[in-house]
Amino acid sequence: MHRIITLAIAVPLFGALLACATTDRPTPPPAEAPVVRSEYVIGLGDQLLITVWRNEELSGINLVRTDGKISVPLVDDIQAEGLTPEQLKAAISEKLEDYISAPDVTVSVAQANSKQVYILGEVNQSGPVPVLQDLRVTDAISLARGFGQFADRSDIRIVRREGHEELEYLFDYNAYVRGRAPGTNILLQPGDTVIVPD
């Protein structure tokens, strides 16, 4: 009889503890698709370094304007937005063939301004951070020169817009570094905003 009473008390108590544990969990991180490597696609605001071998006067930094074009000597305006550096290289080379025999053109991204995440709040350097490679929450905080003095490291929010919907994910830095929140240091996407409250 004593065992039956003990069990009758223990089962509801265990259920209550389990309920408390599950309601305190943060919003689960989004499922990550396998990373597919693809060539960089040029966007508005990117700074491109155009180099034409043995033609310094044709070489230099070009800003992709709001109309998606850049200006190159002899070529005039040419579409850059939506192309890969290799595709833009081919387009510039084709235009230059009217003036130069076998032009040797190189196109590289000097500054990727079109693909950025934004770090706001209690960090040492808030503002945009370029996404040049895989970038996770801890990477973005590091690029913002770390937490400010009064940062609440347990309540970091990542805001992401998908279509007309705004999604929010929570990141507990303290729990993550202690190994208690695996999978929450999510891969950021261009346009995400990381908010570190005080």
Q: What's the per-residue H, E or C state across the chain?
A: CHHHHHHHHHHHHHHHHHHHHHHCCCCCCCCCCCCCCCCCCCCCCCEEEEEECCCHHHCEEEECCCCCEEEECCCEEEECCCCCHHHHHHHHHHHHCCCCCCCCEEEEEEECCCCEEEEEECECCCEEEECCCCCEHHHHHHHCCCECCCCCCCCEEEEEEECCEEEEEEECHHHHHCCCCCCCCCECCCCCEEEECC
* pLDDT at 11 exceeding the cut of 80: no
Tally of structural domains, the chain:
2
Range of the domain at 125: 115-198
Highest mean pLDDT among 8-12, 20-24, 36-40: 36-40
Question: Same structural domain for residues 191 and 125?
Answer: yes
Higher local confidence (pLDDT), 99 or 20: 99
Question: Same structural domain for residues 125 and 99?
Answer: no
pLDDT digits (tens, 9 = 90+) for 47-98: 999 999 999 999 999 999 999 999 999 999 999 999 999 999 999 999 999 9
Question: Same structural domain for residues 63 and 127?
Answer: no
